[in-house]
Amino acid sequence: MITFKRSAAVVIAAAAALTLAGCGSETGGSSADAGGSNGDSVKIMVFGSFTQPPFALSQVKEAAEAAVAYVNANGGAGGSQIELLSCDDNMTADGAANCGNKAASEGAAAVVGSFSLFGDAIVPILETAGIPYILPTAISELDVTSDQTFAIMSSGTPLAAALPLLKDQGCESVVLTASDNPQSRGNLDAYGIPAAEAAGVELTFVGYPANTTDYTTVAQQVADVSNCIIYGGGAPDSAAIITAISQLDGEFINMPLSTVAFPETILADLGAAAEGVQVPSTYTFPSTGGEAITTAIEEMHKVNPNITIDDPALNAYAAVLTFAEAADLVDGPITAEAITAVLSDPATVIDTGLYPPTTFAEKFGWFPAAPRVAGSFFQVYEAKDGAYIPLGEWVDVSESLTF
């Protein structure tokens, strides 16, 4: 049983890059009515960047496939079998728009668990078709503002949440270090600075060029400002800076913004330098050993024994379960409109066991810059012996930040 304590804070994230399209249905099955179920099956789509760098996240598609197989083997969604469509945006805005058109033309009742830099290209199409966007990794502006979005995880709110969390650990001054690009500056302005002011923490940005190869100087610049460090870059640069930091005198609190930027698989390679690294998440991790996460891991391994189990994978798996729970509450045909209405109802509590029980209608708006991101509960995980272990209790950061 998970218990959730209302007080401190935490984090998770992802972002960056671009450039045509390709969509494909993953399964056969009968055709659904426009926007939902024909009584025997109901279509949903998993969408995202599956094959093209810098975010070739095939685990998003595989996790959704695993969750669909599990739901279908256990009675389906609202009594209907789920037919899963998949669509790769191929890291382009045109690709994302094509995926939206595919979802609309196929009569999908939802688009689930996405990870894409091009939400602004697909969301207007989903809005026109009335298709709910369930648990996207909210990166683009429309991801965090559209009424069709029902998100738990975003790229910016972890930065906001990290600041009061670090303050709770005695940090009055915090450094955000990341590649100096428009995405990093945008997150700093939209999330970091407002949250730092609300938390009463001094936040300093230490950026570095994307082509940096020697991070020794960056590490010293960071250490000269504070021993409390938020890492907003990718895995290679974050690992390089943490390694350089570990060779300096002093005790440091190292907090990458997500397992996308700092996956569990990198911990063994870093050895002692990674011990004590803290990664906050809106999801239960494998180390917790709960029934829901254990089942999810087993089902994902059936699809791919070597699947990367990280925040995006857990998000995609949970998105399918979220859809299925909503479908169980629909009185009548399972349509996009009906699913949207259920998730928008303040009486609806979604409890997948993978993220804290959530009433989307009540939780929306805890952070002004991301009004459609409902995930305000976070668990901090600490790196120990090559794995992320829970550190303390779950906390609700919406009560730690006052705007």
pLDDT digits (tens, 9 = 90+) for 2-61: 333 322 222 233 343 222 223 333 333 333 333 444 458 999 999 999 998 877 899 999
274 in the same domain as 143: no
Give yes or no: residues 266 and 335 share one domain.
no
Of 243-252, 258-267, 337-346, 370-379, the poorest mean pLDDT is in 258-267
Q: Length of the chain, please?
A: 403
Q: Is residue 117 part of a domain?
A: yes
What average pLDDT score do residues 272-298 get? 93
pLDDT > 70 in the chain, percent: 90
The residue among 156, 126, 132, 127 whose CA lies nearest residue 144 is 156
Whether residues 179 and 272 fall in one domain = yes
The arithmetic mean of pLDDT across residues 146-175, rounded, is 91
pLDDT digits (tens, 9 = 90+) for 78-136: 999 999 999 999 999 999 999 999 999 999 999 999 999 999 999 999 999 999 999 99
Q: Would 74 be classed as within a structural domain?
A: yes
13 domain residue, yes or no: no
Query: Any idea what the CATH number is for the domain that residue 271 is in?
Result: 3.40.50.2300
Could you tell me if residue 173 is inside a domain?
yes
Q: How many domains does the chain have?
A: 2
Residues 162 and 269 placed together within one structural domain of the fold: yes
Range in 27-31, 286-290, 341-345 the model is least confident about: 27-31
Statement to judge: residues 32 and 116 lie in one domain: yes
pTM for the whole structure: 0.86
Q: What is the mean pLDDT of residues 164-175?
A: 94
Same domain, 250 and 182: yes
Domain that holds residue 261: 157-285+380-399
pLDDT of residue 8: 27
Question: Mean pLDDT of all residues in the chain?
Answer: 87
Shared domain check, 162 and 131: no
Same domain? 191 vs 273: yes
Residue 17 lies in a domain: no
**Is residue 4 included in any domain, yes or no?**
no
For residues 308 and 388, membership in a common domain is answered with no
Say yes or no: 150 and 295 in one domain. Answer: yes
Please indicate, yes or no, whether residues 60 and 189 belong to a single structural domain of this protein.
Answer: no
Does residue 7 form part of some domain? no
CA distance 134 to 206: 34
- Among 73-77, 102-106, 143-147, name the one with the lowest average pLDDT: 143-147
> Is residue 63 over pLDDT 90?
yes
| CA end-to-end span of the chain | 32
Same domain, 273 and 389: yes
> Tens of pLDDT along 196-239?
998 899 999 999 998 999 999 999 999 999 999 999 888 888 99
Indicate whether 12 belongs to any domain.
Answer: no
Residue 280 in this model has a pLDDT that exceeds 70: yes
**pLDDT at residue number 39:** 54
